[in-house]
Every structure is written in structure tokens, then in C-alpha cells.
Amino acid sequence: MTIPYPTTPSVPAFTEVAVPSGAPRPRLAFLGTGYLGATYAVCFAELGYDVLAVDVDAAKIAKLASGQVPFHEPGLDELLRSNLAAGRLRFTTSYEEAAEHADVHFICVGTPQRADGMGADLAYVEASVTALAPHLRRRALIVGKSTVPVGTAEWVEQLVARHADPQLGIEVAWSPEFLQEGFAVEDVLRPNRIVVGVKSEWANGMLYAAHKGVFDLAATEEREVPLVVTDFATAELVKVAANAFLATKISFINAMAEVCEVAGGDVTQLAKAIGYDPRIGNRFLQAGVGFGGGCLPKDIRAFQARAQELGAGEALRFLHEVDLINLRRRSRVVQLAAELLGRRPGPAGPDLSGTRIAVLGAAFKPNSDDVRDAPALAVAASLAKAGADVHVYDPQGMENARAAQPTLAYETSMNDAVAGAELVCVLTEWAEFRNANPAELADLVAGKRVIDGKNCLDAGLWARAGWDYRGMGRPAPAL
Ligand code: UDX
């Protein structure tokens, strides 16, 4: 039975519930210490909770336990170390220990795109629940955080019913996360909303207690964190709907960039002008080489696959276009490269052999070392496939990039990457690239040609320094 909860913009009154472990506030476990789980575990320890984080990857656990974050996320290392020292945060590979420790277990494992299609692979969700459930010895709440197809929470409930002692009254809830890489610490400590999908007052009360630290911090800063209490399906859908909207917004402006390119318009000015309308807003309206990362691309595909299964495929058909627009932007960079280098497009795309190209950026966005579905790295690979000698530099993403695309040449600095290049492509808007001095770089290159794949450079400045500048969806600058 689903208890109908009102959707409220402020914190509603909650039933105080007894914490099963008897601790003054719920003890928390985070299952999975990837980007999501590790960030949440550290930040909830920072909020004062007694936290245990679990992963099957012993090397990752050892690294975290020794105070090292296995990925780049600003501010997280210091919080990891201070909370380890304070004794509020521990790491383990034992689900038994997690079962013993926690009142609330957050599922934070990955849900990648399936190898055989567009849907989400729920194998890790299943593995974490079935590993935990048999060890539970008292009442607990299992809360899904991972991004999943709608219907997963009900399925997790069935898994729990099958694998946990039915006498314990284990319950399930769903509470999606909205972390942005690079801002993840802030997004956990100061979220712009909390969404919970629950079926009982008890689950609601436990989740409130598990988030009280967030609400208390907001109160001390005289902020309010909106809370939406809803059913399972809505909670699951909120996350994918939000990501679908963001992806659509980016592809919308990139579609306008395509039109600007043939009509002679400037998409950056267009975005600025439409963004002044508060109904549209100027955020997520930056045209460029498109969106990437571990979330938006896979989430819009999984959402379509799930809607299709449910018989609502038509409703999300536009997301297919969103995906295509996004991928076309990557091809556009290769096309621009060919144009700038005076190469004609052949039947199998342009032939760039014999050219040397510097690619600045590999991560899918700045302040991240994440190269999953990164447009920058995908373009670098396409340029190399077209025959170019591609030299890549990224301030943080080198190790991951090398693992993902081992055949590209990697340089240890921006200057090394651009040295001798006939074309420079800026594909991730790191501050180091945005602030680069075009006059200085001009002395290093073999040809002063630049593609600004993120429209992040001062076009006039580069043009005045003698560069043949091309942005995305904007005309070449007048000198
Ligand atoms: C996204 C959502 O923002 C977040 O709420 C969700 O929890 C996970 O997915 P993230 O993947 O960290 O977060 O990246 P985000 O900042 O959203 O950027 C996604 C991609 O879109 C990046 O490749 C970025 O460069 C690109 N982007 C973003 C644009 O091309 N134009 C824009 O205007 C904004």
C-alpha cells in the first residue's frame, strides 16, 4: 500500500522513530564507494553521522581507509582525512559488518549502460542487496540512491523479502541524488532539494533522521532545503526526468548552434539573449561539443529503454534526437578540423593524415578526472582515426584517458601538447586553457589554428594574436 504523502516545499512534521541500533541518531552504511558512495559517506560523516562504507573492491577500500580519494573531487580529500581521524568514518569489504553497523543502508553502486542495449544494468544493485540482506539481524531501512529504471525499488523490495529474515521488518525507500561532479561535496552538504520515495511513516521518519544533519546545517545558515516526500515511482522518475531535462536543454542550444552555423548567427549571443527570460534561464545553455560523463548520456538512453518497456516509448522519442544532436557536435569538430587544415571530406570522413593536432582536455568537464563518455576524448580518438597525430593534455584526466584510449599520445603539459601542432582543439574548459595566453602559445605551434569546442576562449583575443579561430555555432571573429 502506498501512503499518499503531500508534496511540500518545506520540511513537514515527522514522526519520531526509534533507531533500531539504539544509537541517538541512525548509523549509516553506504554500499558502493564509487564516486557517489564515497562522496556521500565522507559528507555524512562530516555532518556528524557514524558511517561505514562498503565495497567489494579491496584495493579501493584500502585506499580510502588510508585517506586517499580514488578520484578527483575538490574538497573531498580533506574531509575524508578529518573524518577518518575523528573516528566517524570507516571502510570495509564486509557486508556482515555493514549489517551489524547500520540502521540505514544507502545503495550507491553503479548502474551502467547494459553491454547488450540501452537499458541500465542492475547487476550491482542486485549484488549489493543480496549480499547485505542475509546478514541483517534487526530492523533496518534500505535506501536506493543509484539512478535506476522506474520499478527498481519494488524489485529491491522483492529481493529483500527473499533474502532477509521476514520477521525483522526490513523496509525499502528511494532517495535519488543530484550530485554534479566538481561540486559534489556542496551538493551533498547543501542540496537544493531532497526527494524521498517511501511507503510507511517509519521509513519516512528514519529517512528524516538520516538527513537531519542536512536540515540542521541549513537551519544554522538560515536556508531551507525543500523536501519532496512521494511514492517509489515518482522518486525514481525525478532523477531521470531531471537529467533528461538537462540533456535536452544542452541539445536544444546545440541544435541552435547547428542552425547558427548555416545561417551566420552566433549561438553564444543567442543563448545570452534567450536566457534573460527567467522562464528559460541562462544555465545549461552553453553550446559546445555536447554533454558527456557517467550520467546524462547513459541516463537518457536507459530512460528511453524503460519507457519503451512500459509502453510509453513514444513519449520519450525526442530523447533519441537529443542524443543524436549531442553526438553530431563531436563530428562537427572533426569537420571543422578538416576545414581549417584544408582537407576535403572523403567518403569515409576527412583524411587528416600527416597533421599534428593538440587536444586540450580529456575529462568530460573541468575540475574532474572523469573521462566516461567524454566528448573531448571521443573527439581526440576520432581525429586520430582520421589519421591525425593527436597529442592530448588534461590537468587531471590523463591517467583515466590513457586507460580508455591507450593509443593516443599524452603530454605532461599544455605547452608540450601544443608544441609543433598545426591545430589546437580546446575541448574541456579548464581554467588553465581559458586563461592561456594566445600570443605565447603562438610561438610554440606550427600553425595558428584553434577550435574552441566549448566556446570558452576570448575569440577576439585569439584572433588578434594571429590565430584562425573557430568556435561552435559562431562565426569567425572579425579582427
Ligand atoms: C549531471 C547532473 O547535472 C547531476 O544533477 C546528476 O546528478 C548527474 O549528472 P554531471 O554529470 O556531474 O552531473 O555533469 P554536468 O555538470 O551536469 O555536465 C554534464 C555535461 O554537460 C558535461 O559534459 C558538460 O560539459 C555539459 N554541459 C553542461 C554543456 O555542454 N553545456 C552546458 O550548458 C552545461
The residue whose CA has the least distance to atom 22 of ligand 1 is 291
- The whole-number pLDDT of residue 13 equals 53
Q: In sequence order, which ranges of 341-430 are alpha helices (DSSP H)?
A: 375-385, 398-404, 414-418
- The whole-number pLDDT of residue 9 equals 40
Mutate which of 295, 303, 367, 379 for ligand 1? The one with the most ligand atoms within 8 Å of its CB, which is 295
Mutate which of 192, 364, 379 for ligand 1? The one with the most ligand atoms within 8 Å of its CB, which is 364
Cell 553564444 belongs to 268
> CB of 176 within 8 A of CB of 199?
no
> CB of 80 within 8 A of CB of 64?
yes
Rounded to the nearest angstrom, the distance between the alpha carbon of 296 and the centre of ligand 1 is 7
The answer to whether residue 295 is catalytic is: yes
Tens-place pLDDT, residues 168-187: 999 999 999 999 999 999 99
Mutate which of 299, 365, 394 for ligand 1? The one with the most ligand atoms within 8 Å of its CB, which is 365
The residue whose CA has the least distance to atom 32 of ligand 1 is 284
- The whole-number pLDDT of residue 476 equals 87
- The whole-number pLDDT of residue 477 equals 86
The residues with which 424 forms a beta bridge, in sequence order, are: 358, 450
> Cα angle vertex 138, ends 137, 143, to 5°?
105
Question: What is the pLDDT averaged over residues 412-426?
Answer: 98
Give dist(CA 312, CA 220) in Å, integer: 44
Give all strands (DSSP E) within 27-88, no chain letters. 28-31, 51-54
Q: Among residues 354, 365, 372, 421, which one has the least CA distance to residue 394?
A: 365
- The whole-number pLDDT of residue 7 equals 44
The residue whose CA has the least distance to atom 16 of ligand 1 is 180
List Cβ neighbours of 417 (8 Å cut-off, separation of 6 or more). 358, 359, 360, 391, 392, 393, 411
The residue whose CA has the least distance to atom 26 of ligand 1 is 291
Q: Report all structural domains of the chain as residue ranges with CATH numbers, in order of start.
A: 2-16+24-229 (3.40.50.720), 240-324 (1.10.1040.10), 328-471 (3.40.50.720)
Rounded to the nearest angstrom, the distance between the alpha carbon of 464 and the centre of ligand 1 is 32
Strands 194-197 and 227-230: parallel
List Cβ neighbours of 385 (8 Å cut-off, separation of 6 or more). none
Give the model's confidence band at 419: pLDDT under 50 very low, under 70 low, under 90 confident, else very high. Answer: very high
Of the chain, the percentage scoring pLDDT greater than 90 comes to 94
Rounded to the nearest angstrom, the distance between the alpha carbon of 147 and the centre of ligand 1 is 15
- The whole-number pLDDT of residue 14 equals 66
Rounded to the nearest angstrom, the distance between the alpha carbon of 114 and the centre of ligand 1 is 21
Rounded to the nearest angstrom, the distance between the alpha carbon of 262 and the centre of ligand 1 is 27
Question: What is the pLDDT averaged over residues 187-195?
Answer: 97
Give the model's confidence band at 412: pLDDT under 50 very low, under 70 low, under 90 confident, else very high. Answer: very high
Ligand 1 neighbours by CB, cut-off 6 Å: 178-181, 243, 246, 250, 284-286, 288, 290-293, 295-296, 364-365
Mutate which of 284, 285, 291 for ligand 1? The one with the most ligand atoms within 8 Å of its CB, which is 291
Give the model's confidence band at 346: pLDDT under 50 very low, under 70 low, under 90 confident, else very high. Answer: confident
Phi and psi based region of residue 22 (left: phi greater than 0; alpha: psi -120 to 50; beta: remaining): left
Rounded to the nearest angstrom, the distance between the alpha carbon of 199 and the centre of ligand 1 is 31
Tens-place pLDDT, residues 5-63: 444 444 455 678 899 999 999 999 999 999 999 999 999 999 999 999 999 999 999 99
Which atom of ligand 1 is nearest to 364's Cα?
A: 23
- The whole-number pLDDT of residue 5 equals 41
Give dist(CA 360, CA 46) in Å, integer: 36
Average pLDDT for the chain: 95
- The whole-number pLDDT of residue 11 equals 43
Give the active site residue among 43, 108, 260, 295. Answer: 295
Question: What is the pLDDT averaged over residues 186-208?
Answer: 97
- The whole-number pLDDT of residue 131 equals 98
Which atom of ligand 1 is nearest to 180's Cα?
A: 12
| Coil/strand/helix, residue 267 | helix
Angstrom CA distances, 48 to 25, 42, 184, 187, 203, stand at: 9, 10, 18, 17, 21
Which atom of ligand 1 is nearest to 365's Cα?
A: 25
Which atom of ligand 1 is nearest to 285's Cα?
A: 33
The residue whose CA has the least distance to atom 34 of ligand 1 is 284
- Can you give the length of the chain in residues? 479
Q: Among residues 432, 361, 424, which one has the least CA distance to residue 397?
A: 361
The residue whose CA has the least distance to atom 10 of ligand 1 is 180
Question: What is the pLDDT averaged over residues 323-334?
Answer: 98
Q: Among residues 434, 432, 349, 428, which one has the least CA distance to residue 384?
A: 349
Q: Among residues 351, 131, 123, 119, which one has the least CA distance to residue 240?
A: 119
List Cβ neighbours of 79 (8 Å cut-off, separation of 6 or more). 42, 43, 45, 46, 185
Whole-model pTM: value is: 0.93
